[in-house]
Amino acid sequence: MDTTGAGDVFSASFIYGFLNQWDLNRSMLFASASAALATTRIGGQGALSTLEMVFRFLEEHQNYSK
């Protein structure tokens, strides 16, 4: 719908994974899902997802565990 902020969301989400000492694959998946969700609504801040939303998205679309 709107790609505004998707790159920023990806970067912030990847850093979140890094700071939580996740491995590269988990951090990339989390960041990719966060950025994908950010494109589903219009605007930069209005499209931000919660952790629960990102984990739910990942669980619905692949075998991913928190």
The amino acid present at 6, given as its one-letter code, is A
pTM above 0.95, yes or no: no
- Here the tokens at position 32 are 């990719």
Per-residue model confidence as pLDDT tens digits over 31-58: 999 999 998 887 666 668 899 999 999 9
Angle of helix 51-61 relative to helix 24-38, nearest 10 degrees?
100
- Here the tokens at position 35 are 């950025």
Q: Which of 63, 44, 52 is nearest to 1 (CA)?
A: 44
Give the model's pLDDT for residue 42.
77
Mean pLDDT, to the nearest integer, of 59-66? 73
Per-residue model confidence as pLDDT tens digits over 3-26: 778 899 999 999 999 999 999 999
Q: Which residue has the higher pLDDT, 60 or 62?
A: 60
